[in-house]
């Protein structure tokens, strides 16, 4: 492996780790990759406490938290608003996925 390749791989890994170092950054990165770059930069993020016992058990089992974003991105296919997101912590980095309302 050349020195140039090693530096490129190191930069990619470092960028990935930085973009997933906090729940807010992981959530913004996920929204960006869902295709909503402006919302990813401007949305307000708030921690959300679920009402359902099933959701509370899921969060405890997966070492995760729910977050709500406002304004929420709008899914193009169904025109649904993507309000609630689940952010999981794996070792020292965070991963965010859309959770849904139901």
Q: How far apart are CA 21 and CA 25, in angstroms?
A: 7
Across the chain, mean pLDDT equals 89
Look at residue 102 and tell me whether its pLDDT is greater than 60: no
Q: Closest Cα partner for 73 from 51, 100, 40?
A: 40
Rounded to an integer, the average pLDDT of 15-28 is 93
Q: Domain extents for the chain?
A: 3-98
Q: What is the mean pLDDT of residues 39-62?
A: 88
**Would you place residue 49 in the very low, low, confident or very high pLDDT band (cuts 50, 70, 90)?**
confident
Calculate the alpha carbon distances from 68 to 4, 17, 20, 90 in Å.
Answer: 41, 23, 18, 20
To the nearest whole percent, how much of the chain has pLDDT over 90?
54
């Amino acid at each position: 492996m050349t020195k140039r390749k090693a530096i490129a791989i190191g930069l990619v890994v470092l960028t990935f780790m930085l973009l997933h170092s906090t729940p807010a950054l992981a959530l913004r990165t996920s929204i960006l990759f869902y295709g909503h770059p402006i919302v990813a930069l401007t949305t307000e993020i708030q921690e959300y406490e679920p009402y359902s016992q099933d959701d509370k058990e899921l969060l405890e089992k997966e070492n995760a938290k729910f977050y709500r974003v406002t304004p929420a991105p709008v899914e193009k296919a169904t025109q649904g608003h993507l309000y609630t997101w689940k952010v999981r912590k794996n070792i020292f980095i965070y991963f965010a996925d859309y959770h849904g309302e139901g």
